[in-house]
Amino acid sequence: MTCALFVSAQFHPKFIDNMRELAELKRKLGTPKVEIVALINAGLRNQIAAKVAPNTAVELIWDKYEGGLGPLSHSVGVRLVPETLIIDPKGSVRVYIQNYRDMSSLNMQRCVRSLLH
């Protein structure tokens, strides 16, 4: 399975757009071989879940933020947000995208498809 891991800050102006774009990316890819995961600040669970969880194919993982990013974000090497990591089926980070990108774009689809086996 290939995974797109998205890490963002909920205060980022494009946060909700990013979540919609990620759900659209998963829909466009049309394969169960891709999982889209977002690390989200656990302190904002109620606010975020109400806005995105019911309407998206993106799996939300709650990270305990402590004055910045949480331990899960740090464990995968994230230092600033927004960032996206594309992880191949063997668990290696193959693509690391800093800053905002249109997650549902044709370029992102090609990037993820190139890692599908």
CA-CA distance, 36 to 115, in Å (whole number)? 14
pLDDT, greater one: 91 or 5 = 91
pLDDT tens track for 7-66: 777 767 777 788 888 888 888 888 888 888 888 777 777 777 677 656 567 888 888 877
Distance between CA 7 and CA 15 in Å, rounded? 10
pLDDT, position 94:
86
Report the CATH number that the domain containing residue 31 is assigned in CATH: 3.40.30.10
Which pTM does this prediction carry? 0.77
**Crossing angle of helices 15-29/106-113, nearest 10°?**
50
List the domain range (segments joined by +) for residue 30: 2-6+8-113
